Amino acid sequence: MTIFDKFQTLAANRAELLASGINPFGVVIEQICSPTEGVVNGHPVILVGTNNYLGLTFHPDCIAAACAAVETQGTGTTGSRMANGTYTGHLALERELADFYGYPYAIVFSTGYLANLGMLSALTGRGDVILLDADCHASIYDGCRMSDAEMIRFRHNDVGDLEKRLRRLGERASNTLILVEGIYSMLGDRARLVDIVAIKDRYGAYLLVDEAHSLGVLGRHGRGLTEEAGVEDRVDFIVGTFSKSLGGIGGFCVSPLPELELIRYATRPYIFTASPSPAVIASTRAALRILATHPELQDRLWSNAQHLYQGLRALGYTVGPEPSPVVAVIMQSKAQVLACWHYLLEQGIYVNLVLPPGAPKGACLLRCSVSAAHTSAQIDTVLAGFAALRDSVLIAQEAC
């Protein structure tokens, strides 16, 4: 026995994948030409798998802010927020995030993943209970494991199952944190937040909403599902990321509760991780201003999302349960999804390949993410690629 024995199954699966001649995890984007175009294997591709929802990665204001920060503050902080890593920009971004949400308190983390690890591991502990939607992101599961709290899953978007489990907890409900996502990252559906908030209030629990994929996407001002559902004053914590709509990297938590400031002194992923670089903070601040003042970006995003979602349905594909900038095409098997992903890439269309256990219920997905920067012509090209895929690869597979 060695410490590597646990990897035998993984190694066998990897060998099987490489033997097929398709290596989806070896894709290198050799050149980024715009928020929606790149070069892979020497060929131009339309990028439909980047989570760049508002297309801000090339916005001149964001680039100028990042360049200015590098020139005046250097490339990195070389320390954590609790040591030498708190700059004026970090504090300014926290104030701006709090103002954007209308909450008094905010914390900035180095990544969105660390935001969930940091919040959950510090907020809950032994004797507490976490009730999480079964389809929550891996960072949420990992944060729950770090917390040492009792972790109980409820069926995805099943508010009846959530309430049943809260009811069984009795007095422990007041020591319970409910975890859901604004938009779920694999199938693109929303949490049933109005019902979840009502149940949370009824039992005296707490609620954390991860708005990673809904910041800039939902709500009249882009604040996410909590804004769209009209429950911002009844949610205890909102976690989000800078790596989707804001086009950078980093994470945050905002809250109406003053206890959030105490968490700053207890969360190890905040205390012991180098803080975000000045350039990232500067570009994120610029992106947040753009998000708040340009609602037309959200309008274009949703026009493109509807275009792709309805177009794929018309082609006969099985897609996620509701229109969203996350548009998932559900395939029947690993072999099928690999062949389809490879075919699309050869046609100049890059989408995300999701294999079990990455998707709910062991599904295999071609996961598309739409951007406000996509043109209508680009969406038509993507749909033409899926039409050709249906008429060649899928029909050939069915004939076999």
Joined together, the tokens standing for residue 124 give 């809950």
Nearest partner of 45 among 28, 58, 59, judged by Cα: 28
CB 341 within 8 A of CB 23: no
213 is an active site residue: yes
Which of 139, 147, 185, 324 is the catalytic position? 185
Rounded Cα distance, 335 and 116, in Å = 34
Nearest partner of 180 among 202, 195, 169, judged by Cα: 195
Q: The dihedral of CA 122, 126, 128, 133: what is its sign? A: positive
221 is an active site residue: no
Beta strands in 98-214 (DSSP E): 105-109, 129-133, 150-154, 176-181, 206-210
Joined together, the tokens standing for residue 170 give 């009795």
Encode burial over 133-166: b for 16+ CB neighbours within 10 A, e otherwise: bebbbebbbebbebbebbbbbbebbebebbbebb
Which of 244, 277, 307, 369 is the catalytic position? 244
DSSP 8-state assignment for residue 318: -
Rounded Cα distance, 349 and 47, in Å = 6
Find the angle CA(229)-CA(253)-CA(154) to the nearest 5 degrees.
Answer: 60
CB 128 within 8 A of CB 177: yes
Q: The dihedral of CA 9, 15, 20, 23: what is its sign? A: positive
Pairing of strands 326-331, 43-47: unpaired
324 is an active site residue: no
Which of 137, 213, 307, 374 is the catalytic position? 213
Catalytic residues: 185, 213, 244
